[in-house]
Amino acid sequence: MRYLLVDRIDSIEPGAKALGWKNAAMSEDVFEWHFPGRPIVPGTILLEAFAQLAGWLEAVSSGFERWVLLDRVESAKVFGFAVPGDRIELRIEQVPHADPNRRAYRAESLVGGERRSLAEFEAVVVPLDTLDSKERTKAAYEALLGAPPPPASRKGRA
C-alpha cells in the first residue's frame, strides 16, 4: 500500500522551499490505535509528510529527474498535537549540504497558524525513474496543485 500524505501543494520555490498541507481525516487507519478515545497524528506521519514534500521539491527542482528519500532525522520536536479534522500546514526549507548527493531540510507543521512540530532531516538523492515514471509523477504533481485532470481517453469505451 502506498501512503500519500501531502494532500495539496500551495507553492514550490525550486531549490529552496515548499508549502503544502495534509488533512487529518478520522477515516485514516492510523487513528484506530493512536490512540483509542483520543486520536492524534503520530509524529512519524508528520516526518513522512515532510519527506514527501521534500521529494516534490526535488522533483520540481530537477525537472522531474530526481527524488529524495529520508534517511536521517537530526531533530524532531512536538509542541502540540494534530487531531482528526485538522488541516496541517507543512513548510519545508532546503538548507545547504556539502554532499551534492544529499539534501538537508528544516521543516515546520502548523495547525490554525500555531506551530505543532519542527524537524531537521537529511535525504539521499535518487533518480526518480527508479521509483516511478516521470509522466505519472508529473500528473500526480499537477493534481496536488489542484489542476484539473486531463480529458479521459475515449479508447475502449462504449
What is the Cα–Cα distance from 61 to 100, expressed in whole angstroms? 14
What is the Cα–Cα distance from 109 to 55, expressed in whole angstroms? 17
pLDDT at 1: 41
Task: Spell out the domains of the chain, with CATH numbers in brackets.
Answer: 8-145 (3.10.129.10)
What is the Cα–Cα distance from 144 to 141, expressed in whole angstroms? 5
The stretches in the chain having pLDDT less than 70 are 1-2, 149-150, 152-158
CA angle, residues 38, 79, 40, in degrees to nearest 5:
20
- For the four alpha carbons of 82, 30, 123 and 66, in that order, the dihedral sign comes to negative
Question: What's the first-to-final CA gap in the chain, in angstroms?
Answer: 32
What is the Cα–Cα distance from 23 to 16, expressed in whole angstroms? 24
Q: Which residues are catalytic?
A: 34
pLDDT digits (tens, 9 = 90+) for 73-82: 999 999 999 9
pLDDT at 148: 73
Q: In the sheet where 8-13 sits, what is the strand order?
A: 8-13, 17-23, 87-95, 102-111, 114-127, 66-78
Burial (CB < 10 A; 0-12, 13-18, 19+), residue 115, is middle
Cell of 70: 529520508
pLDDT at 8: 97
pLDDT at 32: 87
